[in-house]
């Protein structure tokens, strides 16, 4: 069977340095890796991962390998693979099928190559691996013990599969751990989305009108960081409570149809489809910049943008100019794919430390459990708490402990107004 397929194996030395840099900032995962090397909880198991192949994912892959797993990886987005990192992983004997700039056919071929290794545990980011197993490779389903899912969109898809009875094995929704979404989705996406926009455009955010599509965990982070850099932030939402929260956080809230006319920069992170479409593009100012940080490249209607345009050209990496029939120019970043991974490096290692600690501990949990019923599960509380404790310890932060008196007070009802 093919061992690996990457863009350029000679990039491995640079990839090793990147992985070393990431590992220095991932103390929780390192502790797990050290324990895994001794205990080998994943011994003999093939783990198939469809994850963004970044330096942080490499640290996760190394931790899983240290635990005895045979790790096989492909990318979870055609533009997010870091080719030097993929080369280093291939060099250390981890099976990796990923390169930056894949077309859709190549993307799914790489998923197939992972499945050729017949993984018994899957680690997915967006549920394309699970989706392929359940559609094209059904005969393999009986051998799968369970899986994990990294992101909101993947969890939504898997819950839909559970609801209509098509999910055939247990999935742990890593995304829904507190130590994942409160930090990764909010601070990780917040910082790295701004990083992606700046690397692609080097535009000044201070004084710009910055429109954020959604006010969920990711979009809250993006809005917070854009505001911190002096942008005038507008939020668009469909949920009343979230819109209210944005308004009370001092942000302007309005429908995208109104925001379209006033925004300088637009970023979507909703997990929804066609959030920015023809009627909005028709109202946008000349020079407006449009980007997406949601999982799939469906949040901005690329068909509409193409249909409205008479010409397009690439000005800089990840920056395409579309000239509309009336002469206005709109600027699309990273082909509408997640701008933080395609135009920057994804989340900082410190954040992925917690997300991937959850991944590693959930893989161990699945390996040690009897086969679980085919449902979407939340991350066990002890794993979530353990990740938070290890992270605090690594940060040198200590916290208080409840006294016996406080424990009693908090668990009884007799004592009221005194």
Residues 88, 354 contacting (CB under 8 angstroms): no
Q: How far is the CB of 71 from ligand NAD (least distance, A)?
A: 21
Q: Identify the three-state secondary structure at position 8.
A: coil
CA 355/CA 174 separation, integer angstroms = 7
Helix H or strand E segment including 332: strand 329-333
> Which residue number, 69 or 155, has a Cβ lying nearer to ligand NAD?
155
> Which residue number, 348 or 374, has a Cβ lying nearer to ligand NAD?
348
Return the number of other C-beta atoms located less than 10 Å from residue 324's C-beta: 17
> Which residue number, 42 or 267, has a Cβ lying nearer to ligand NAD?
267
Question: DSSP character for 338?
Answer: B
CA 153/CA 338 separation, integer angstroms = 13
The two beta strands, 265-268 and 209-213, are parallel
SS (H, E, C) 178-219: HHHHHHHHHHHHHHHHHHHHHHHHCCCCCCCEEEEECCCHHH
Q: How far is the CB of 370 from ligand NAD (least distance, A)?
A: 30
Q: How far is the CB of 410 from ligand NAD (least distance, A)?
A: 30
Q: Which residue is nearest to ligand NAD (CB)?
A: 216
Q: How far is the CB of 258 from ligand NAD (least distance, A)?
A: 13
- Which residues of this protein are in contact with ligand NAD, per CB under 6 A? 151-153, 181, 185, 189, 213-219, 236-239, 242, 269-272, 275, 293-295, 338, 340-341
Across 46-182, where does the E strand assignment appear?
A: 46-50, 70-74, 95-97, 121-124, 146-149, 171-173
Question: DSSP character for 300?
Answer: B
> Which residue number, 180 or 329, has a Cβ lying nearer to ligand NAD?
180
Of 404, 396, 218, the residue nearest 294 (C-alpha): 218
Q: Tally helices (H) and strands (E) across the chain.
A: 18, 15
Q: How far is the CB of 157 from ligand NAD (least distance, A)?
A: 10
> Which residue number, 70 or 185, has a Cβ lying nearer to ligand NAD?
185
> Which residue number, 145 or 295, has a Cβ lying nearer to ligand NAD?
295
CA 70/CA 48 separation, integer angstroms = 8
> Which residue number, 90 or 233, has a Cβ lying nearer to ligand NAD?
233
> Which residue number, 46 or 268, has a Cβ lying nearer to ligand NAD?
268
Q: Which residue has the tokens 């006294």?
A: 403
Q: How far is the CB of 309 from ligand NAD (least distance, A)?
A: 23
Q: How far is the CB of 177 from ligand NAD (least distance, A)?
A: 12
Q: How far is the CB of 273 from ligand NAD (least distance, A)?
A: 8
Which bin fits 389, alpha (ψ -120 to 50), beta or left (φ > 0)? alpha
CA 165/CA 149 separation, integer angstroms = 18
> Which residue number, 11 or 233, has a Cβ lying nearer to ligand NAD?
233
Q: Which token pair is 206?
A: 């201070």
CA 160/CA 166 separation, integer angstroms = 9
Q: How far is the CB of 253 from ligand NAD (least distance, A)?
A: 10
Q: Which residue has the tokens 């991937």?
A: 356
Of 297, 245, 315, the residue nearest 126 (C-alpha): 297
Q: How far is the CB of 173 from ligand NAD (least distance, A)?
A: 11
> Which residue number, 65 or 76, has a Cβ lying nearer to ligand NAD?
76
């Amino acid at each position: 069977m093919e061992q690996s397929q990457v863009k350029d194996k000679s990039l491995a030395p640079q990839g090793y340095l990147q992985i070393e840099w990431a590992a220095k900032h991932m103390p929780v995962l390192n502790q797990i890796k050290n324990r895994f090397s001794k205990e080998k909880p994943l011994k003999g198991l093939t783990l198939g991962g469809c994850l963004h192949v970044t330096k942080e994912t490499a640290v996760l892959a190394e931790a899983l390998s240290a635990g005895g797993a045979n790790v096989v990886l492909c990318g979870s987005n055609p533009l997010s693979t870091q080719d030097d990192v993929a080369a280093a992983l291939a060099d250390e004997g981890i099976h990796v099928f990923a390169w930056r700039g894949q077309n859709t056919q190549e993307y799914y071929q790489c998923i197939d190559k992972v499945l050729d290794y017949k993984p018994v545990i899957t680690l997915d980011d967006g549920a394309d691996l699970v989706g392929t197993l359940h559609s094209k490779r059904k005969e393999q389903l009986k051998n799968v013990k369970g899986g994990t899912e990294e992101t909101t969109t993947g969890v939504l898809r898997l819950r839909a599969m559970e609801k209509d009875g098509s999910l055939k094995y247990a999935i742990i929704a890593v995304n829904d751990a507190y130590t994942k979404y409160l930090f990764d989705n909010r601070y990780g996406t917040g910082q790295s989305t701004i990083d992606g926009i700046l690397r692609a455009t080097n535009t000044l955010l201070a004084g710009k009108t910055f429109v954020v599509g959604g006010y969920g965990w990711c979009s809250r982070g993006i809005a917070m960081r854009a505001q911190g850099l002096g942008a005038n932030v507008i939020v668009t939402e469909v949920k009343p409570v979230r819109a209210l929260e944005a308004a009370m956080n001092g942000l302007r809230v309005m429908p995208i149809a109104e925001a379209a006319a006033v925004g300088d920069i637009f970023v979507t992170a909703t997990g929804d489809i066609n959030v920015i479409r023809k009627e909005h593009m028709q109202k946008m100012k000349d020079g407006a910049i449009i980007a997406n940080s949601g999982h799939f490249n469906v949040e901005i209607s690329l068909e509409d943008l193409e249909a409205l345009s008479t010409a397009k050209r690439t000005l800089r990496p990840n920056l395409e100019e579309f000239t509309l029939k009336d002469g206005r120019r709109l600027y699309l970043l990273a082909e509408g794919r997640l701008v933080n991974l395609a135009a920057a490096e994804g989340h900082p290692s410190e954040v992925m430390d917690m997300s991937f600690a959850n991944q590693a501990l959930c893989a161990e949990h699945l390996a040690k459990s009897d086969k679980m019923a085919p449902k979407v599960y939340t991350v066990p509380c002890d794993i979530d708490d353990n990740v938070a404790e290890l992270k605090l310890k690594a940060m040198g932060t200590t916290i208080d402990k409840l006294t016996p008196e406080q424990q009693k007070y908090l668990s009884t009802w007799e004592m009221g107004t005194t």
